[in-house]
Amino acid sequence: MRRQGKPRGRLRSGLARLTAPQQFLLAGSFLIPLGSFAVLPFMSVLLHRQLGMGLGAVGIVLAVASLTQFSGGVAGAALAERIGLRRTMLLALGIRTAGFACFLPGPHHPAAAVTALFLVSVGAALYLPANKGYLIHRADEEQRPLLLSASSSALNAGIALGPLAAAPFVLSASAGLFTAVTVLFAAITAGHALLPAEAPDPGAADRTMGTGRERAFAGLAGLPFAATVLSLYVFMFFQHYLALYAVPRTSTTYYGLVLALYALLLVVAQPLLADRIAGLSYARALWFGFGAMTCGMATLAIGGHVAILLGSLLICLGEIVLFFKNDLEALARSPRAPAVVFGRQRLAAGIGAFASGVAGGEGYQLAERTGRPGLFWVAVAAQCALLPLLLVTLVRRRRQRRPSAVTARDR
């Protein structure tokens, strides 16, 4: 039975038990997105304004780079299984460092900038599954929620601070900024070289099943994979189109404040709620997470300062619960190594984000043409409410067809 107590007390005791490699990786979980997001959010500006690429070409480049970063997680997981977690992280960081170095001539050479972007995306795809796998390697089940939530909080803090730190320099002193980021990644790579190689996992051989295509999908946790696709699908509407909706109705300053409060809630709440979320049944976590998303999207439709802030914070709660619980459940339900599970979760996220991008542009444009863009958020809220019901119905029908495969955990 899970120990009860104050979340802060459990958090402090859990942090005190972290090993030196785990502490280093958590620090890296902050520094890596800090450096990355000092550059990546400004890519559209760099490619369009400084290099003269058309917006259509810019959109294609960014879409393909994003898809590479997400779907490449499967390749990163397979590589980690073959050569090891530490070696995969080193290779990925080497590629990523080379990518940021290619940004140095980027402001004057489109080919160099596009090459740099894809190298950075490939490096991220290879790194993330191995990083999470190493972080929880040989950790007991009770410690995993703390490690994953702390890593996510550090990552979100870096994402929030990176653009703020780089904004004054990205156009006026871009060469200096790219040099600083390259040096930062070179130092992080050197630090990873000092990490001990992970101890062999005695059960790894038993979890490696089949060959080729069979092995790639063996042991797939179907429900968490599908729920992750759905979670990212509905969430990315918010991620992509909130600025277009919020800025004309408030101001850029207020929109920045909303993003700052959103990031603060992510950073603070995830570790504090990790133990409670881990203790929820998967069904309750899905209902709570998608319920918060539904309420948040519907609140955005009202418009105005209060509604935009409240809707965003409700969506933040949904993100905390869904993204975290989906990963935990995928780990628990799959017999494969953690790096493989995280690679598949990245693939699921990429599928959801891609589908959202395809549907969202036309949907938001249609809502704007009607003169009632709030209808876009009503439509998204309806999807948040109805698509999980459809998913649950499909899962139940599948269980009824194969009753012998239903486990006590699935019930």
Distances (CA, A) of 207 to 81, 83, 85, 214: 11, 16, 16, 13
- Residue range 28-70, pLDDT digits in tens: 999 999 998 888 777 766 777 667 777 567 767 777 787 788 8
pLDDT at 386: 96
Residue 13 amino acid letter: S
Please give the average per-residue pLDDT across 227-234, as a whole number: 94
115-162: pLDDT as tens digits: 888 999 999 999 988 998 999 887 887 888 888 888 888 988 888 888
> Would you state the structure tokens that stand for residue 187, as one six-digit string?
């130092």
All domains of the chain in start order, with CATH: 19-198 (1.20.1250.20), 221-401 (1.20.1250)
Cα–Cα distance for residue pair 129/80, rounded to 1 Å:
8
What confidence tier does 346 reach under pLDDT thresholds 50, 70, 90?
confident
Burial class (CB in 10 A: 0-12, 13-18, 19+), 12: exposed
What is the rounded CA–CA span in Å between residue 70 and residue 55? 22
pLDDT tens column, 207-225: 444 444 555 566 677 899 9
Predicted TM-score (pTM) of this structure = 0.76
